[in-house]
Amino acid sequence: MKITGFENNIPESEITPKSVYLDRRKFMQQAVASSLLLSVDVMLPAWAKQWPDLKSSPYSTADSVNSFEDITTYNNFYEFGTGKKDPYKNATQFNPKPWSIKVEGECEKPGTFDLEDFINPATLEERIYRLRCVEGWSMVIPWVGFSLADMLKKFEPHSKAKYVEFTTLLDKSRMPGQQRRVLRWPYVEALRIDEAMNELPIMAVGLYGDILPNQNGAPIRLVVPWKYGFKSIKSIVKIRFTEKQPQTTWNQTSAKEYGFYSNVNPTVDHPRWSQKKERVIGLPFWKPKRDTEMFNGYSKQVAHLYKGMDLKKHF
Ligand SMILES: Nc1nc2c(c(=O)[nH]1)N[C@H]1C(S)=C(S)[C@@H](COP(=O)(O)O)O[C@H]1N2
Ligand SMILES: [Mo]
């Protein structure tokens, strides 16, 4: 029997072999170099062909990536439950199509746009970033996305636009976690405009070469690699340019624990968790923790944004 709404789901049997994706990708590249493309092409499953010509980004970390299983079964996405496995279990029926994004506030070209208007396969890149969660763990994810700055410039922000705010879908029938008041819905996040215009943040529409799994924020989410994971808001439906600093969900929930900036900083502890080290998801429990790096390793690209600021006060 065919159940409607499930057509877009990838069968379990196609998900598991994704852990070998990177090896296969390397093999593909070698094969292309030796013009064996045709024979290799026949071997590739459908999922590997979503965006076959992804450029790799110079900002990618060289650290080894987590498995597809780690990345898609250990998530924070409270719209689908508060447990780490809840989004994997509860987001399977979520259908992120059709999808549109409203752009409003201090800009010359506001409007409502289809997701397709944002995705230009020619500008998509693979960016491998380490996601550092404030809870004290991290993992490395091969995102597919495009520059946030390039996207924002198209709306021609006014000089009054000092911040940019992002909002997740509000729909408690499609996002059952919103039936519980664990957070004030919808989830909202924001960046200062100069942070948003930095070269590092991306809008991600995929990972491991394929479209974004629901539990990772389908169909489109933010990724800001020098900030704690919660700034990287999922399933975005609205972008707003503002003059005043927006209220953000976690800051509103507990201002003492979650500051507006939320830069990865091993010298400023969260009241409940040290930020000096992080547990790398996927490693055996007896392996030592990893030292957390200032700005998650991106000081060169972002330290200048905070010149003269007391980062203990503006955490
Ligand atoms: N809408 C929304 N976005 C969200 C969250 C959430 O609960 N809701 N959780 C955040 C947190 S705390 C983290 S660590 C990352 C996790 O992203 P991942 O599941 O793709 O690894 O998503 C962030 N974005
Ligand atoms: Mo997080």
Ligand 1: which of 232, 235, 237, 252 to mutate, judged by most atoms within 8 Å of the beta carbon?
Answer: 232
Ligand nearest to the CA of 221: 1
Domains, the chain, ranges and CATH?
12-306 (3.90.420.10)
pLDDT of residue 47: 56
Residue ID of nearest Cα to ligand 1 atom 5: 77
The total of other beta-carbon atoms located within 10 Å of residue 124's CB is: 20
Nearest to 185, CA basis, from 173, 171, 200, 164: 171
Residue ID of nearest Cα to ligand 1 atom 12: 230
Q: Is the pLDDT of residue 225 over 90?
A: yes
Ligand nearest to the CA of 83: 1
pLDDT of residue 8: 36
Residue with the two structure tokens 């330290």: 303
Q: Is the pLDDT of residue 199 over 70?
A: yes
More confident residue, 44 or 231: 231
Determine if ligand 1 sits within 6 Å of the CB of residue 213. Answer: no
The pLDDT tens digits for 52-85 are: 889 999 999 999 999 999 999 999 999 999 999 9
Residue ID of nearest Cα to ligand 1 atom 7: 77
Q: Is the pLDDT of residue 140 over 90?
A: yes
Q: Say how many Å lie between the CA of residue 202 and the centre of ligand 1.
A: 15
Q: How far apart are CA 281 and CA 72, in angstroms?
A: 12
Q: How far is CA 56 from the centre of its chain?
A: 17
Q: How far apart are CA 141 and CA 202, in angstroms?
A: 13
Q: Is the pLDDT of residue 17 over 50?
A: no
Q: Is the pLDDT of residue 177 over 50?
A: yes
